[in-house]
Amino acid sequence: MSRAPEFVTLSDAAARAVAGANSRHAALIEDAFDVLVETPGGGVSLTGDSKGRAQAKKAVHAIAARADQGLEIGEADVRVAIGNAKSGAAPGALPVGRRGQVAPKTAMQAEYLQALAKCELVFGLGPAGTGKTFLAVAHGAGLLLRGEVDRLIVSRPAVEAGERLGFLPGDLTEKVDPYMAPVWEALTEILGADQLRRRREKGEIEVAPIAFLRGRTLAHAFVIVDEAQNATRLQMKMVLTRLGEGARMVVTGDPTQIDLVNIRDSGLAHAVGLLEGVKGIAITRFSAEDVVRHPLVERIVRAYDADAAKAGRAI
């Protein structure tokens, strides 16, 4: 099989991004596709078999496109480009947030977005800061903006209120909003405050605690069940069976952060165990490597994981 070099013409900025500091990005591409990456000037040269060159070329073009937009390219971006080139798939179109294009920052985030685009039900599991809720909101907002769904419905167990929301002051929105702050922040980031308010007033964006979904059929909607580790087994079964015609659902949560009195009553791990491998269902598991908040968050997650492993506790 031919291992002849192939030259890809790039801008200087793109070629530097593909090479990376101390040729670190080039090394990642070489390891992933068994090719030799060289930057003789004016672009990059790829040497390897035809399949390796073709996949490496896709990754190079993806990195170059981001660099030419003036975006900073880190190792996470290179790994995403490599993962997409290997799978031959790309995540569905996402809206542009106030800080620019919403895009995955790790290979697992890219895999998560691909699952959201392909499957009717997706579980996103992992620690805080991995983007599982934000990307779900971004995907759902994109579907709503493109008219692919009629409604975006967000639900979350109100564990802190013991689901006794009737004892709290105000209407349903005022009672529930404090528990939905991360979701509203994400929606505001993506849609802007004015559009978010208009769509809420029109009923296109709805928020409700899990208990309020009982008895409903959710059709032509994108449903986000957030903090699902705090849903009981009965609640989880109930909400999963609300899916109606043309509906899609994503269930997000961190199995290590259960606030229920009896942690064995959590429905998230139970549902994943029952449904893994079922056609139309995808499960994405994030780890500390996928944390995209402050770098300290990743170190905190790793410390807790190490402590749990030492104690022999399952995560």
DSSP run (H or E) holding 189: helix 181-191
Please give the sequence-ordered ranges of beta strands (E in DSSP) within 132-267, or none if there are none: 151-156, 205-209, 221-225, 248-253
DSSP assignment string, 149-169:
-SEEEEEE--GGGTT-GGGSS
Give the angle subtended at the CA of 257 by the CAs of 255 and 260, to the nearest 5°. 95
Give the angle subtended at the CA of 107 by the CAs of 102 and 113, to the nearest 5°. 50
Helices (H) and strands (E) in the chain, counts: 12, 11
On the question of pLDDT at 87 being above 60, the answer is yes
Q: Which CATH superfamily, name and number, covers 5-87? A: K Homology domain, type 1 (3.30.1370.10)
Least confident of 155-169, 171-185, 190-204: 155-169
Question: What distance in Å separates the CA atoms of residue 85 and residue 48, rounded to the nearest whole number?
Answer: 16
Q: Convert the pLDDT of each residue in 67-78 to its tens digit.
A: 888 878 887 778
Parse the chain into domains and list their residue ranges. 5-87, 96-311
On the question of pLDDT at 163 being above 50, the answer is no
3-state secondary structure 106-124: CHHHHHHHHHHHHCCEEEE
Q: What is the pLDDT of residue 171?
A: 58
Q: Do 249 and 223 meet the contact criterion of CB atoms below 8 Å apart?
A: yes
Least confident of 161-165, 177-181, 244-248: 161-165
Which CA distances in Å does 42 have to 10, 38, 112?
6, 11, 35
With a CB cutoff of 8 Å and minimum separation 6, the contacts of 149 are: 140, 143, 220, 221, 222, 246, 247, 248
Considering only residues 149 and 103, tell me which one the structure prediction assigns the higher pLDDT: 149
Q: Do 112 and 284 meet the contact criterion of CB atoms below 8 Å apart?
A: yes
Please give the CATH topology (third level) of the domain spanning 96-311: Rossmann fold (3.40.50)
Q: What is the pLDDT of residue 311?
A: 67
Q: Convert the pLDDT of each residue in 205-221 to its tens digit.
A: 988 888 888 889 999 99
- The residue type found at 69 is Q
Q: Convert the pLDDT of each residue in 168-189 to its tens digit.
A: 555 555 655 666 777 888 888 8
